[in-house]
Structure 1
Amino acid sequence: MQAALFGNPNTGKTSLFNQLTGSYEYVGNWSGVTIEKKVGMLKSTGQPLVDLPGIYSLNPLTKDEEVATNFLLEESFSYILNIVNASHLERNLHLTIELLEFGKPLIMVLNMVDLAKRQGVELDTDVLETRLQTKVFTAVARKGVGCEEINQYLASYTPKAHSFFLPYDQLIEEHIERAQEIMIDQPSSFSRWLSLQYFSNNESVELYIESRYPELASIRQSAFEQITEQGTFLADLIHHNRQQFIEQLLQEATLKPVEKKVLPLTEYIDRVATHKVLGIPFFLLVLFLIFKLTFDWLGTPISDQLDAFFAGPLSNWADSLLNAINATDFIRAVVTQGIIAGVGGVLVFVPQIFILFFFISLIEDSGYMARVALVMDRLMESIGLNGKAFIPLIIGFGCNVPGIMAARTVEQPKERLITILLTPLMSCSARLSVYSLFVAAFFKDHQAAIVLSLYVLGIVVAIILAKLFSWVLKNEGSYFVMEMPPYNIPQWKQLLRSTWDKGKGFVRKAGTFIFGGSVFIWLLSYLGPHGANVPIDESFMAIVSGVFAPIFSPLGFGTWQAASALITGFLAKEVVVSTMNILYFVPDGQSLQTLLPHFFTPLSAYSFLVFILLYTPCLATVAVIQKETGSKKWTAFSIVYALIVAYILSLAVYQIGRLVGLGG
């Protein structure tokens, strides 16, 4: 007995899913977080619960919304859990009515009742149950309030058909009856729902109808023409009938209809956070403070201690153990020069990555991230996109892969394509290990500012290219609609789980992909045409990378080691650091940070970081671009254009820097 969880964006749907199933899915305090259906098992029954993307109606505008509508048309399930925002019930009830008309048993969850009460809204659940013919619960899902009662109810719940019926305009009812006569093979409630969705121009339902009941097209056209003669449109009249019912229902169900209260703190913060002039500087200030905490105040001291541990005690213990078991020179070299140097060189940056993710999770859960999208909408509109396209870019700060997948929330196909192409320019967490290494070695007094400049550069380049791509692809206009969530005090449990969920992938890579890559890279540096244990400059790695090294000389880093790091970085950006730890010979008692100034200047180091930021996305990102676009042409384009942009900007940074006397 499978249940389906439906709701508007930002109603706490995924929070409720986590509470009812005991699982953990990513929760963000803005729309577009759930981009495909997720399945968990109810704690009370062990039966599956499907979490579907947030939608405002069953008429899909975006790829993620299609998932929800197609689920109704194609999947088998027993009942619906419909979560609604108690403080915005009027808007949420439009989806509820569409779901009730589908005919499946439905349970409503009034979420965020605490926020509704603070705004002076209190609802009579008995009235809602009577008028909607369904069971109604109240909850605060993010805190777990009311969720246990829902679980207990579901433990003994037997789905029963409801008797909800909403009458429409007489002319609409006449055409529904004509349509149902053709769909006589379908249950009455389902054929009525199909008719209403078809009359509302639901594209997913249109495809369903056209393949089964093509004769319905003439009935819809007849209804459209007759209602247009009355001075309105068919879909608008259906919406108007529902709106009238909702307004009457809320008049009866609202116990304390008072004017909504805006929290003074929320209003005060939004005066700055969403200001048309101050909004973007405020966002940059927030990022700067996060980077300051990550690199200068908290992260770097911890990373330095880890680095000292890997270079000192751990290496000494490994040497002692290998001596005790009489390991061969080859095995000793694999362990100390390959595994410890390669994997350990990446793991030292784990504290900084987790600290960064903690603060990103903090601003996500607080409700501020939605404000960022709103502020950026004004800028994005000027380049042919809208604020919703900025959400995948923000997600790309963590990892480009889910960022690209989040582009499904963008309605317009060309805007979606542009967003996919631009998301890899966002500075993902994998690049952070490279930034950490270089800023510690060359910009110790300005680490936060340098990292912030790279993040901002990625956004600026994306904006410029978006304008160019929009002009070439001749984008159609679109509108940005986003509900501003309330500011929340983050829950510590949720915050820590979110931080771990974001950072665990980095640790997992270190133990698997980076581990294997480090051994392979070390092996290529250990072997050469003349045998094993050759001088590293005569190894296979040096020979192959030496072919490409001259290409990067105008950029300031024309060594074969730097070329090797860029080549292996295509597999995963974290491998750049492990490659450097293996290929640059680090004397005992020293670290790679102290050695790098022998091979880079501060100017060439920054040029290298710019190239790392912009050049070809990693293999996993390329794979998801191919999947989401379904085009080898656009996938190849994403690789090539990124290389060209990275080369041009790194060249400009280095050569202009030399001209103005910043060093060579």
Structure 2
Amino acid sequence: MTYTVALAGNPNSGKTTLFNELTGSSQRVGNWPGVTVDKKEGKLKGHKDIIIQDLPGIYSLSPYTMEEVVSRGYLVDQRPDLIVNLVDGSNLIRNLYLTSQLIELGIPTIIALNMMDIVKSNGDVIDKDNLSKILGCPVVEIVASKKQGTKDLINEIVKSENKLSLPNPLKYSGELEEALEKISSEISGSVDSKLERYLSIKAFENDEDMFENISLSTSQKENIKSLREDFEKKEDDVAEGIVTTERYEALGEVGEKVLKKAPPKLSTTDKIDKIVTNRILGLPIFALVMFVIYYIAISTLGTGATDAVNGFFEDTMTPAVADFLTNIGISDVLVSLATDGIIAGVGAVLGFLPQMLVLFAQLSILEDIGYMARVAFVMDRVFRRFGLSGKSFIPVMIGTGCSVPGIQASRTIENERDRRITIITTSFMPCSAKLPVIALIAGAFFKKDQALVTFSFYIIGIVSVIISGIILKKFKEFASDPAPFVMELPPYHAPRVTSVLRDMFNKGMSFVKRAGTIILVSSIIIWFLSNFDFSFKLVEAESENSILAVLGGYLAVLFKPLGFGQWQSAVATITGFVAKENVVSTMGVVLGIGADLDETNRQLITAFNQAIGTPVAGYSFLLFNMLCMPCFAAVGAIKTEMNNNRWTLIAIGYQMAFAYAIAFIFYHLANCFVYKEFSFMTILAILVLIGVLYLIFRPVKYKEEKRSYKLNFARK
């Protein structure tokens, strides 16, 4: 028989880290909400019969956010055997607000007092024995990030099986307690006795989602309503506000008994935050940090390793495989498939792996030390100026690794209209699959400014999200006020080497797996189509008579207005819809340059001049491929999150139209300024620009309709 333990706590209290330690899970550790959207499950180390359910990070059991809906629904309906409540000891009273609600559920509870190293470094003292006595449940001190105290917690969990008594709910003022007792007498025969205290409070607060699932007579409901209204009139406040005030007053009394704080002083975290979250300096610092990160990954540390890998594929692996296959009598066609198809395609993508790993490591360090949480805080100010919520920036940041989890992270946004906008725009950010494409084209056309060009697409991604948010908010289907954004800013700490390496390894392996599956299959298909004609006769590589060249010629017409109307670039763009890395592998195959995509290779530069043309056309090529519809996996995530075919098509349609318009405007206006070319297409580009500006600055005609949402927590 299994014993179920629910792990509950505030966001950024170290809950995911503790879950990893308790279960041995390799789930990613982060510093922002959204890493754990749904509850996660794992078996307690050494105890297969004890199941740990990791609930989303929440601040309370009031269902205002999707995380709170999931957590409350599970705790009330599923009734775990035990709750392990993770409490950030450095923010004790605020974290105990959730604790005060959990202990009212009538479920045995253990308090895991985390971040005790920070508590001690601050000079604070927590009397855990007295806290345990007041709350009526065990309290265990831990430091989850350093694996301190977790064995004691595991022992306490094991000992608790069928042996723990129920915790002691907080007692409020006499008048409120009297009112709750009257409500309790009204509902006592209709609810589980263990839930009686919790449901009495919910009935007093007029929480309809809970109240409506209690079988009461009309007179009982009227009695409770009358009692509530009289109390609200007397206190001149709504019932929920009254309970909140009482909770904090009760917790204040608890704090006086168990917490001894050191004299206040400005911590290192506070000193740093005065600079990095400054209204004026915050954004420039963020831009500088990201530029340095891309510069290190693309132009310095990652470049040497990338050149070495490219050289290995081209100078060592390709001739070795060709010689081996030839010596054992394999036909020239299959040798070409292996070298010009598989190695050229897959090798072209894997050649960028070192740069990707350097980028992954740097981003993971920024996240682990706590800086990325500050970035979300800074960007919330920017987003709100344009009617967007800082909550939308969290999925956008996650999307820099991969658009799929970024899109999925939009679940944390409770405003449905803001959520749709976030789903549509998250893939505008350059994800790990797009980085090799940027590095390749930037290296071929902008060698001296490669890092700057790469960084520019990070800025373009953010600006595109903001512009799209402004445009979409002007339409009735998206009009709404920005959702409120509350976020914990964790203290700064040194990056954990194991966490950074694990994150880098997981993302790197994901990149390699895609190269070994999707890119491999795509490379074989591209090789076949580029080496055979419609009669299935072998033709010369790069022949204009190949199936790929003929089909690409028809597709090229679509992209000619964007500056890259050659069949090679058109085909690369289309294959990029399957997986963005395909753009690189396709170029490696159709241009006949193998896996050696070294940006200093004159053959590469000449080939790209033929396939794309000028540097302006190259930048336009990147603009379209970065902003258009994402890979099939991300499109699948969009469909899942939208849960509606119409909205999925709207999302893809907007992404394609936006990308085409931006690339079209840039190409023709840049041609006008750089090459002094002025034509009818230049005039058309100006008109399109005027149209985009109109959509941005036109007056708002619609406002969000105020709607009430009803949540169903009925027991099955």
Q: TM-score range by the shorter chain?
A: over 0.9
Q: Aligned pair 1:224/2:228, yes or no?
A: yes
Label 1:161 to 1:648 Cα distance change in 2 as closer, same or farther (>3 A): same
Deviates more, 1:34-43 or 1:409-418: 409-418
Change (3 A) 1:181 1:532: farther
Q: Which secondary structure does the structure 2 equivalent of 1:229 belong to?
A: helix
Per-residue Cα deviation, 1:318-364 (whole angstroms, up to 9, x for no partner): 11221122112332122112110111110001111111010000100
Tell me whether 1:392 sits opposite 2:391 in the alignment.
no
Structure 1's unaligned 5+ residue stretches are none
Q: 1:308 to 1:620 in 2, by over 3 A?
A: same
Residue 692 of structure 2: aligned partner:
none
State the Cα distance separating 1:606 from its structure 2 match: 0.9
| Equivalent residue runs for 1:280-295 within 5 Å | 280-295=283-298
1:535-567 Cα shifts (integer Å, max 9, x gaps): 442222222222120121121110111111111
Query: Aligned runs of 1:83-482 on 2, under 5 Å?
Result: 83-159=86-162, 160-168=164-172, 169-170=174-175, 173-174=178-179, 177-178=182-183, 181-182=186-187, 184=189, 186-202=191-207, 204-205=209-210, 209-210=212-213, 218-230=222-234, 231-254=236-259, 256-263=260-267, 265-472=268-475, 473-482=478-487
Matched AA of 2:304: P
- Alignment-derived partner of residue 662 in structure 2: 649
Evaluate the alpha carbon distance shift between residue 270 and residue 234 of structure 1 in structure 2; reply closer, same or farther with a 3 A threshold.
same
1:590 positional shift: 7.8
Note if 1:522 corresponds to 2:527.
yes
Structure 1 letter corresponding to 2:153: I
Native 8 Å contact 1:604 1:654 kept in 2: yes
Q: CA deviation at 1:305?
A: 1.1
When normalised by structure 2's length, the TM-score is: 0.88
Q: 2:604 aligns with which of 589, 593, 598?
A: 593
Secondary structure at 1:33 match in 2: coil
Q: Distance in 2 between matches of 1:368 and 1:219?
A: 52
SS at match of 1:486: coil
Distance in 1 between the 2:226 and 2:554 partners? 71
Q: What secondary structure sits across from 2:313 in the alignment?
A: helix
Query: How far apart are residue 608 of structure 1 and its match?
Result: 0.7
Identity of paired residues, percent? Answer: 38
Give 2:23's aligned amino acid: T
2:582 to 557, 575, 582: 575
Report if the CA contact (8 A) 2:562-2:620 is conserved. yes
Output the CA distance in 2 between the equivalents of 1:217 and 1:327: 84
Q: 1:232 to 1:436 in 2, by over 3 A?
A: same
Structure 1 residues 170 and 646, CA, compared in 2 at 3 Å: closer, same or farther?
same
Picking from 636, 642, 649, the partner of 1:623 is 636
User: Within the alignment, does 1:42 sit opposite 2:44 as a pair?
Assistant: yes
Letter in 2 for 1:481: V
After superposition, the C-alpha distances for 1:482-521 in whole angstroms (9 at most, x for unaligned) are: 2221111111111111222222211111111211221122
Distance 2:500 2:206 in 1: 41
The more displaced of 156-165 and 311-320 is 156-165
- AA aligned to 2:527 is W
Shift of the 10–555 alpha-carbon distance from structure 1 to 2, 3 Å rule, reads same
What displacement does 1:574 show? 1.0
- Letter of the 2:327 counterpart: A
Paired residue type of 1:518? S
Letter in 2 for 1:38: K
| Contact 1:180–1:192 under 8 Å retained in 2 | no
CA distance in 2, matches of 1:553, 1:542: 15
Q: Determine which of 531, 538, 548 is the counterpart of 1:541.
A: 548
Aligned residue for 2:85?
A: 82
**Alpha-carbon shift at residue 35 of structure 1 (Å):** 1.1
Counterpart amino acid of residue 456 in structure 1: I
Q: Of 602, 609, 617, which residue of structure 1 is paired with 2:622?
A: 609
CA shift digits 1:384-430 (9 cap, x unpaired): 12222211111111111111111122232221221111111111111
Stretch deviating more after TM superposition (607-616 or 543-552): 543-552
Task: Specify the SS of the correspondent of 1:532.
Answer: coil
Counterpart contact for 1:172–1:223, Cα < 8 Å: no
Contact preservation (8 Å) 1:524, 1:540: yes
Deviation by residue 1:79-117 (Cα, 9 ceiling, x = unmatched): 011001101111111111111111111111111111122
Which amino acid is 1:596 matched to? Answer: F
Q: CA deviation at 1:53?
A: 0.9
Secondary structure in structure 2 of the residue aligned to 1:537: coil
| Residues 1:492 and 2:497 are matched in the alignment | yes
Aligned to 2:698: none
* CA distance in 2: counterparts of 1:181 and 1:588, whole angstroms: 76
**Is contact 1:431-1:613 (8 Å) kept?**
yes
Mind listing any 5+ residue stretches in structure 2 that lack a counterpart?
678-716
Pair 165,269 (structure 1): closer, same or farther in 2 beyond 3 Å: closer
Deviation at 1:380, TM superposition (A): 0.8
RMSD: 2.1
Cα distance change of structure 1 residues 588 and 513 upon mapping to structure 2, 3 Å threshold: closer
Distance 1:642 1:569 in 2: 14
Question: How many pairs are equivalent?
Answer: 660
The Cα of 1:577 is off from its aligned counterpart by 0.9
The structural deviation recorded for 1:175 is 5.1
Large movers: runs of 4+ above 6 Å: 587-590
In the alignment, which residue of structure 2 is the partner of 1:561? 568
Is the CA contact (8 Å cut-off) linking 1:58 and 1:202 kept in structure 2?
A: no
Offset from partner CA, 1:207-233 (integer Å, 9 cap, x none): xx3486585754553333111211122
CA distance in 2, matches of 1:569, 1:330: 26
Amino acid in the other structure paired with 1:570: F
Q: Secondary structure of the equivalent of 1:82? A: strand
Instruction: State the distance in 2 between where 1:623 and 1:103 align.
Output: 41
Aligned 8 A contact 1:437 1:593 in 2: no
Measure, in 2, the Cα distance between the counterparts of 1:203 and 1:538.
70
Q: What TM-score, normalized by structure 1, do the two folds share?
A: 0.95
Q: CA deviation at 1:478?
A: 3.4
Aligned position for 2:711: none
